[in-house]
Every structure is written in structure tokens, then in C-alpha cells.
């Protein structure tokens, strides 16, 4: 069989262009991002251009999150990109944490600015300023606002989606009357993030509190969801912060309570970014490319008609009808009726792009009033055309569940208990995943564990410590998971 020059072969061309995931993980990641046309490098170092296919995944992620934010009482608003320099200095820990990463605008309209403007790295300061104007009475509380925007952090090393100088995210900012309410809000949003990661992205996470040394600059408590990547490194996937009264005091967010006393509000902030898209690529992809959970797949189903012989027109017509029926049933279906490439080429192309389910329809299928259903990298099955909507929906559900269980099994198998410092060091050096460590809670012990292992304490989980602190031998009071991290 002859093949036009420059076209990949039906069976191997795609795979050859993507390095093996296990052996060359970092190159594999970049190849998948570029080849699946999720993003491309921008002419500005550290920035990426998100291409339509990648942006559609991000939009679906946004929708899944936004629905949950609204269901928990939040509304969206917009705040400006530029923040006056003076705002950053008001919260001491906050400025210290963010100062090295802020980009400054010092000139505009051809003239020096009297006060430089920071390009927002996060919006706590400007939100604090505005909340101080809006909140007067306990009746104004709570304020529950979410922002979808871009932020800039001047990073040295960058990787598409995982760490970029400019990135898209959401940042929630709330103000409350009591400490208990703020704490409940911070924990609620952590649950929202976990639910989203596990249900929509099929990524299992460890959820819990950040140790003091890792909390958000200016927070009283920070909470986090942490996912495990196939190279044994943790990916911080979402954080939620109880800011106590720190920002309220710095920005004067005060209210008159029902007892006529003027009090400072309690605030929270919480965010996830397109970094989750990077996690999605790493967790589910394989040597053939991207693999997408159905809830965030731009095309959940691709229909590939096998167009040969005299039945060709009838097959194409039925394939079009299938696409219409699936769309009407709320399935994101794409008909691939290209004639310049073979069905084999199409199979590989869509597999590389991570489409969860392929529906094949050929002359013999048509005669039997059936279609062939093939989950990505899975086994073929047939379904009667009469019940194609139901069959497709069941297959998608099963595929999403399978992705989650595979990732969950990986996570469970890569949680390594350590009973001695040496075991911690060895497990981290071997990149074996999350290392479960018992800790007495002392900052000196945390520093010692960090120094010995070269890993950071990712998350303190709600589990009883069943033994002594690895650093000092005193009774352990907390369980902390250590890992190298992105
Ligand atoms: Zn200790």
C-alpha cells in the first residue's frame, strides 16, 4: 500500500513522535502538550499560548468549578490587573512572600508613574481595600465573591500549565462575621476542590492542612489538595486559606456588630489554576498521548464511519444521524468524515488527543443495525443503533470510573510508611511517592525532616499518629505526607 509522503503511518506514526512516558517523563509531557495542540510556547519566555483544544478543556474545568461555587452561594466579580505598590506592604508576611515574584509597571503613556503598579500575583490586597469600603455592618456579611482572572508571577523555571509566568485561575475571596464561619468556608472550599478533582478530573487527592512553613503568606491556616504524579512527585492542586483577621486589620475591614461593637471581619481566599490541566495530562496520559476524563473532554465521542464500497453514502448518512442524536442527548460528539486519511489514521489521531470513546460504523454494522464502541485504549464492544445514546452514556461513565480507579490504585500503592528518618530519606530519594510521616508538631523537627530528606511536608491529614515523631522520638501528634513537589 502506498502512502503519500509526510503522512504518519496508520499504526505507528503518532506513537513514534511521543517519547515513552515512563522512560522520558518530562519530554513525554512536553510532546503531549504540543502534539495534542493544547498549548504552544509564546514569544515571551515563561508564557504559553493556549490553543483551542486546550482552552476548551479549561472552559469545561471552569464550568465544573463555577457550578460548584454558585451552588455554595458565591457570585463572580472582576477586579483590576494593576495594584498600587503601597497595597502590598500592608500585610507583612504577604509582601515578603510575594515580593520576589511581582512584575512592576513603572512607566505608562510615556511618563514615569508616581506610584509603581504591581501586576496582580493574587488579589487579597485590592480585594481587602474594596471590602473595607463595602462592609459596614454585620448585615453586609458574609461577602462571597469569586474572581476568574489571570495573574503574573515572575518565575525562573517554567513548564506549560504547571508553572508559567502568567496563568489563568480563579480566586475566591470571602469575608465573615466570625472566626468559625471563616474556618467553615475555608474547609468547605477544600471539599469543593476535592470533589471537583476526583469526580470531574478523575484525579484522587490527599486533602488536609498545610504545615506553618508551607502556608500562604498572611494566612492563619492553609488547606490543600495534593495529587501524586507518575514520577513520584506531588502536585499541589488547589489551596484554601483561612486568613483570620490578618488582611482585615491590614486593610481596615471592620463592621458594626449586633452588639454595637466595631469588629474586624474574618476573611478567606481559595484558588485553583490551569495547573490542574497539567496534572490531568500527567496522571491519565500514556505512550499514545493524552487521555481525558469524559467530563472535561472537548469531544467525548468521535464517530468514525468506515467509508468503503457501495454502502458508503448510507453509512455516512447514518453516521451523521448518530452525531445528531448524540448531540441531542447532551454528548459532545464529533463526526470525523475526512476522506483524505484512513480510518486507522483517525483512530490514532483521536486516541492521541485523548477522546474517551470511539464509535465505528461500517457497512456490515449498518446491515446489523449496530455500531462498534471502543473506549480509548480499551476493548471493542457493539451496541444496537436503537439504544446508542444509552450505550454511549454507559461507556463514558465506565471509562471515567476506570480512569479514577486506575489513578487511585496508583496513589494507594505509592503511599509509603516511614518509621525512621532513614526510611523517609530512602523513600524520597527513590521517588516512591507520598511518604507517611509521624511528627510531634515542633517546627525544629519539621526543619530536620525537610533537611534530611530534601522533600517538603505536603499535607497534614486528619489521621491519628500511631507512633513516635521521626525526628525527635517524642510521641507523634500528627501525620504528615512528605514528597518532592512540582
Ligand atoms: Zn519531634
Q: What is the CATH number of the domain that holds 460?
A: 3.30.110.30
Three-state secondary-structure class, residue 454 = coil
CA of 104 to the centre of ligand 1 (A): 42
Please give the distance, rounded to the nearest whole angstrom, from the Cα atom of residue 448 to the centre of ligand 1.
9
Does residue 19 belong to any structural domain of this protein?
Answer: no
Question: Could you tell me if 305 and 280 lie in one domain?
Answer: no
Among 345, 374, 402, residue at a domain's last position: 402
Q: Are residues 306 and 217 in the same domain?
A: no
Under 8 Å between Cβ of 380 and 374: yes
Instruction: At 149, list the grid cell.
Output: 482572572
Residue 456 Cα to ligand 1 midpoint, Å, equals 16
Same domain for 311 and 458: no
What is the Å distance from ligand 1's center to 355 Cα? 49
The owner of cell 518532592 is 484
Kindly give the parts of the chain with pLDDT less than 70.
Answer: 1-16
Answer yes or no: do 131 and 248 share one domain: yes
Asked if residue 387 is part of any domain, the answer here is: yes
Spacing, Cα 410 to ligand 1 middle (Å): 30
Ligand 1 centroid from CA 421, angstroms: 11
Same domain, 232 and 309: no
- Three-state SS across the chain? CCCCCCCCCCCCHHHHHCCCCCCCHHHHHHHHHHHCCCEEECCCCCCEEECHHHHHHHHHHHHHHHHHHHHCCCEEECCCCEEEHHHHCCCHHHHHHHHHHCEEEEEECCEEEEEEEEECCCCHHHHHHHHHHHCCEHHHCCEEEEEEEEEECCCCCCECCCECCEEEEEEEEEEECCHHHHHHHHHHHHHHHHHHHHHHCCCCCEEEECCHHHCCCCCCEEEEEEEECCCCCEEEEEEEEECCCHHHHHHCCEEECCCCCEEECEEEEEEEECHHHHHHHHHHCECCECCCCHHHCCCCEEEEECCCHHHHHHHHHHHHHHHHHHHHCCCCEEECCCCCCCHHHHHHHHHHCCCCEEEEECHHHHHCCEEEEEECCCCCEEEEHHHHHHHHHHHHHHHHHHHHHHHHHHHHHCEEECCCHHHHHHHHHCCCCEEEEEECCCHHHHHHHHHHHCCEEEEEECCCCCCECCCCCCECCEEEEEECEC
Each residue's pLDDT tens digit, 368-389: 999 999 999 999 999 999 999 9
Q: How many alpha carbons fall within 13 Å on the CB side of residue 246?
A: 21
Give distance in angstroms: CA of 471 to centre of ligand 1.
Answer: 5
Same domain, 344 and 463: no
| pTM of the complete model | 0.94
- The CATH number of the domain holding residue 103 is 3.30.930.10
CA angle, residues 468, 469, 471, in degrees to nearest 5: 135
The verdict on residue 408 lying in a domain is: no
Distance 420 CA to ligand 1 centre (A): 12
Based on the domain organization, do 92 and 175 belong to the same domain?
Answer: yes
Domain count, the chain: 3
Tell me, in angstroms, the distance from the centre of ligand 1 to residue 218's CA: 25
d(CA 451, CA 459): 17
Three-class SS of residue 260?
coil
Report how far ligand 1's centroid is from the alpha carbon of 229 (Å).
29
Task: Choose the final residue of a domain: 373, 402, 431.
Answer: 402
Distance from Cα 472 to the centre of ligand 1, integer Å: 4
Torsion of CA 379, 383, 389, 391, to 10 degrees: -50
Range of the domain at 398: 296-402
Expressed in angstroms and rounded, the spacing between residue 166 Cα and the centre of ligand 1 is 39
Give residue 463 CA to ligand 1 midpoint distance, Å: 17
Q: How many angstroms is it from 433 CA to the middle of ligand 1?
A: 22
CA dihedral sign of residues 207, 210, 215, 219:
positive
| 241 and 327 fall within a common domain | no
Whether 393 and 452 share a structural domain: no
Please say which residue of 402, 423, 438 terminates a domain: 402
CA 444–ligand 1 middle distance (angstroms): 7
Ligand 1 centroid – CA 482 distance (Å):
15
* Residue 16, in any domain of the structure: no
Amino acid at each position: 500500500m502506498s502512502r503519500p509522503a509526510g503522512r504518519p503511518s496508520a499504526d505507528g506514526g503518532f506513537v513514534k513522535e511521543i517519547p515513552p512516558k515512563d522512560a522520558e517523563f518530562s519530554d513525554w509531557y512536553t510532546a503531549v502538550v504540543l502534539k495534542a495542540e493544547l498549548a504552544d510556547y509564546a514569544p515571551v519566555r515563561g508564557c504559553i499560548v493556549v490553543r483551542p483544544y486546550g482552552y476548551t478543556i479549561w472552559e469545561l474545568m471552569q464550568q465544573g468549578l463555577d457550578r460548584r461555587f454558585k451552588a455554595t452561594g458565591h457570585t463572580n466579580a472582576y477586579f483590576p490587573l494593576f495594584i498600587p505598590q503601597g497595597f502590598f506592604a500592608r500585610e507583612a508576611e504577604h509582601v515578603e512572600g510575594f515580593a520576589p515574584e511581582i512584575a512592576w509597571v513603572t512607566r505608562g503613556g510615556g511618563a514615569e508613574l508616581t506610584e509603581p503598579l504591581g501586576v496582580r500575583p493574587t488579589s487579597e490586597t485590592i480585594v481587602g481595600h474594596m471590602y473595607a469600603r463595602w462592609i459596614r455592618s454585620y448585615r453586609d456579611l458574609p461577602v462571597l465573591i469569586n474572581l476568574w482572572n489571570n495573574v503574573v508571577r515572575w518565575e525562573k523555571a517554567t513548564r506549560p500549565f504547571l508553572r508559567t509566568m502568567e496563568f489563568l485561575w480563579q480566586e475566591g475571596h470571602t469575608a465573615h462575621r466570625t472566626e468559625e464561619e471563616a474556618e467553615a468556608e475555608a474547609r468547605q472550599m477544600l471539599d469543593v476542590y476535592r470533589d471537583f478533582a476526583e469526580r470531574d478530573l478523575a484525579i484522587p487527592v490527599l486533602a488536609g492542612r498545610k504545615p506553618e512553613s508551607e502556608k500562604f503568606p498572611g494566612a492563619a491556616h492553609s488547606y490543600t489538595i495534593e495529587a501524586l504524579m507518575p514520577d513520584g512527585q506531588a502536585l499541589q492542586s488547589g489551596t484554601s486559606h483561612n486568613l483570620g483577621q490578618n488582611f482585615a486589620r491590614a486593610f481596615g475591614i471592620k463592621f458594626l456588630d449586633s452588639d454595637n461593637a466595631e469588629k474586624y471581619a474574618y476573611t478567606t481566599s481559595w484558588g485553583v489554576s490551569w495547573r490542574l490541566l497539567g496534572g490531568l495530562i500527567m496522571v491519565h496520559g500514556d505512550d499514545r498521548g493524552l487521555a481525558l476524563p469524559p467530563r472535561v473532554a472537548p469531544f467525548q465521542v468521535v464517530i468514525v464511519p468506515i467509508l468503503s464500497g457501495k454502502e458508503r453514502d448510507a453509512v455516512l448518512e447514518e453516521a451523521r444521524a448518530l452525531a445528531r442524536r448524540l448531540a441531542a442527548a447532551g454528548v459532545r460528539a464529533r463526526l470525523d468524515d475526512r476522506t483524505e486519511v484512513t480510518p486507522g489514521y483517525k483512530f490514532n489521531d483521536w486516541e492521541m488527543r485523548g477522546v474517551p470513546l470511539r464509535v465505528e460504523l461500517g457497512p456490515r454494522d449498518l446491515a446489523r443495525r449496530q455500531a462498534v464502541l471502543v473506549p480509548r485504549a480499551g476493548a471493542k464492544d457493539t451496541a444496537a443503533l436503537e439504544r446508542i445514546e444509552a450505550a454511549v452514556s454507559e461507556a463514558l461513565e465506565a471509562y471515567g470510573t476506570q480512569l479514577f480507579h486506575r489513578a487511585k490504585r496508583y496513589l494507594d500503592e505509592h503511599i509509603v510508611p516511614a518509621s525512621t528518618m532513614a526510611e523517609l530519606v530512602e523513600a524520597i530519594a527513590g521517588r516512591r511517592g507520598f511518604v507517611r510521616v509521624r511528627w510531634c508538631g515542633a517546627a525544629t523537627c519539621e526543619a530536620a525532616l525537610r533537611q534530611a530528606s530534601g522533600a517538603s511536608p505536603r499535607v497534614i491529614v486528619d489521621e491519628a499518629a500511631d507512633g513516635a515523631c521521626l525526628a525527635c522520638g517524642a510521641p507523634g501528634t500528627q501525620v504528615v505526607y512528605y514528597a518532592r513537589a512540582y
